Amino acid sequence: MGVLPHALVLPYPAQGHVIPLMELSHCLVDRGFRITFVNTEFNHDRVVAALQIDSTMEQINLVSVPDGLDQEEDRNDLGRLTEGLMKTMPLCLEELIRKSSEAGDRITCMIVDESMAWALEIAKKMGLRPAAFWPASAQLLATLLRIPELTSKGVIDAEATRQEMFQLGPGMPPMNTAHFAWNCIGDRRTQRTVFNYILDNNRAIEIAEFVICNSFKEIEEPVFASAPRILPVGPLLTGLRPGRPAGHFWPEDTTCMSWLDEQPPSSVIYVSFGSFTIFDRRQFQELALGLEATGRPFLWVVRPDLTAASDDAYPPGFETRVAGRGRMVAWSPQHRVLAHPSVGCFLSHCGWNSTVEGISNGVLFLCWPYFADQFLNQSFICDVWKVGLRLMADENGIVKQERIESKVEELLRDEEMRSKALLLKDIAHRNISRGGSSSQNLQAFVDAMKT
């Protein structure tokens, strides 16, 4: 007999992890689940503060546990964060599960971010069905799971510092070992801590009955063929439905939607660099001037912390000159923006969520990656799916305004690319419609968690 499924959902404490796990939670609620969604206290407070008035749901219970850091500590210090999480979270999670049972509200399964896979040990210990979710490309996960093999082949050296291009398998875009997350951060000690944390999670993920991810078969076919344990259930697109908690750390500025309504079809350049990219002042100003030079309407997400000096960060007179044509917001309802017919292209840092959201809406990409797997995602966009162009820096490491202007024009003129993008959008939506491949995978997962 089936039980009423009640899932504990545990994201890694970063925006690009909380949002897709919240989307997955909505998919599960639609299929009869109740959810206990566990953020760190620090992020929980931000998520609750950013909630729109009507966006609560009784089937999703937002709860929190401490992350082991003091209030004022830097959560971008991944070494400290990792140590803090491991010190406090396991016991707090056990207690939360126990208390839920005592209150007659038993948690039946645990869906953890792969970057929190250590928590699957708790699921095992406490008799919950264990599952893992991966919020980036399947290729990246397949690569991380093969670290031991790549180490023995000498692609990754024991100190995890070697930098070289390699190809995981036929048909897969090449990757640069310099872009592994641990190679992009902090000092040697931090790198080592994060590298070991990944290895520990790789071991723990063996416990998971399912490893699902926000991707779909056609965009990473060679990976899914060679790593059948990774099951695509994407694209997750519940963010298109307003009035549901979306797990955002900043309140969405929805006024840009009516501004978009006033713009011609496929005319707007949407510019967003995700949740933690930082610009230096010189590059920020160059981007502003480049957007101005296009002469086209643009919607630009300028997070309060996008530059170190935000007050006078714009070039002199910029805001007056672009008034009406250019719109800056602190945080957008990105799913809805990308689905809007007036958006013509997406100037993006190529985070995986933004990548999937963009291709699912048939937009063209201008790629400006900064960090880690964003470079791999750029290769998918430009070389594999062919729905975008690279925006390269000059010899001084600056992306100049003239280049921004000319690349936007080149992109928007490319009809062949636009038809590819529309085809990809169609494939994405077929995947999650009734009988689609991702939809069937999700159903298999749901059925297993219910038994």
Query: In terms of Cα–Cα distance, which of 220, 237, 179, 145 is closest to 375?
Result: 179
**Shortest spacing between CB 273 and ligand UDP, in angstroms:** 7
Interface with ligand UDP includes 113 (CB under 6 A)?
no
Q: How many CA atoms lie within 13 A of 443 on its CB side?
A: 10
**Shortest spacing between CB 137 and ligand UDP, in angstroms:** 11
- Give the sign of the dihedral formed by CA 279, CA 280, CA 283, CA 285: positive
Burial class (CB in 10 A: 0-12, 13-18, 19+), 406: middle
Distance CA 280, CA 93 (A): 39
Residue 403 CA, distance from chain mean position: 27
**Shortest spacing between CB 200 and ligand UDP, in angstroms:** 22
Per CB under 6 A, which of residues 356..375 are in contact with ligand UDP? 357
**Radius of gyration of the chain from Cα atoms?**
22
**Shortest spacing between CB 119 and ligand UDP, in angstroms:** 20
**Shortest spacing between CB 301 and ligand UDP, in angstroms:** 4
Is there a contact between 230 and 142 (Cβ–Cβ < 8 Å)? yes
Interface with ligand UDP includes 274 (CB under 6 A)?
yes
Interface with ligand UDP includes 15 (CB under 6 A)?
yes
Is there a contact between 133 and 112 (Cβ–Cβ < 8 Å)? yes
Return the structure tokens found at 267: 């005319």
Interface with ligand UDP includes 377 (CB under 6 A)?
no
Interface with ligand UDP includes 351 (CB under 6 A)?
yes
Interface with ligand UDP includes 352 (CB under 6 A)?
yes
**Shortest spacing between CB 415 and ligand UDP, in angstroms:** 27
Interface with ligand UDP includes 276 (CB under 6 A)?
yes
Question: x/- site string to ligand UDP, residues 382 to 401, per CB under 6 A?
Answer: --------------------
Closest CB to ligand UDP among residues 37, 331: 331
Q: Judged by CB under 6 A, which stretch of 39-47, 257-265, 349-357, 401-409 contacts ligand UDP?
A: 349-357
Per-residue buried b or exposed e for 321-337, using 16+ beta carbons within 10 Å of the residue's own CB: ebeeebbbbebbbbbbb
Interface with ligand UDP includes 90 (CB under 6 A)?
no
Residue 390 CA, distance from chain mean position: 20
SS3 content of the chain, % helix, strand, coil (to 5): 45, 15, 40
Per CB under 6 A, which of residues 327..346 are in contact with ligand UDP? 331-332, 334-335
Question: What DSSP character marks residue 279?
Answer: B
Is there a contact between 232 and 437 (Cβ–Cβ < 8 Å)? yes
Residues counted in the chain:
451
**Shortest spacing between CB 375 and ligand UDP, in angstroms:** 13
Is there a contact between 232 and 218 (Cβ–Cβ < 8 Å)? no
Interface with ligand UDP includes 299 (CB under 6 A)?
no
Interface with ligand UDP includes 114 (CB under 6 A)?
no
Distance CA 123, CA 229 (A): 19
Per CB under 6 A, which of residues 229..258 are in contact with ligand UDP? 248
Q: Judged by CB under 6 A, which stretch of 49-57, 101-109, 353-361, 430-438 contacts ligand UDP?
A: 353-361
Closest CB to ligand UDP among residues 93, 183: 183
**Shortest spacing between CB 252 and ligand UDP, in angstroms:** 7
Distance CA 202, CA 114 (A): 8
**Shortest spacing between CB 371 and ligand UDP, in angstroms:** 7
Alpha helices in 103-249, H assignment, sequence order: 120-125, 138-145, 147-152, 188-204, 221-226
Q: Judged by CB under 6 A, which stretch of 61-69, 122-130, 260-268, 273-281 contacts ligand UDP?
A: 273-281
**Shortest spacing between CB 314 and ligand UDP, in angstroms:** 18
- 281-294 and 401-413 are packed helices; what angle lies between their axes, rounded to 10 degrees? 40
Closest CB to ligand UDP among residues 342, 354: 354
Closest CB to ligand UDP among residues 20, 130: 20
Interface with ligand UDP includes 137 (CB under 6 A)?
no
Is there a contact between 114 and 132 (Cβ–Cβ < 8 Å)? yes
Q: Judged by CB under 6 A, which stretch of 2-10, 257-265, 274-282, 404-412 contacts ligand UDP?
A: 274-282
Residue with tokens 């921004």: 404
Is there a contact between 297 and 268 (Cβ–Cβ < 8 Å)? yes
Interface with ligand UDP includes 37 (CB under 6 A)?
no
Which of 183, 191, 353, 431 contacts ligand UDP by CB under 6 A? 353
* Residues at the interface with ligand UDP (CB under 6 A): 15-16, 19, 248, 272, 274-276, 301, 331-332, 334-335, 351-354, 357
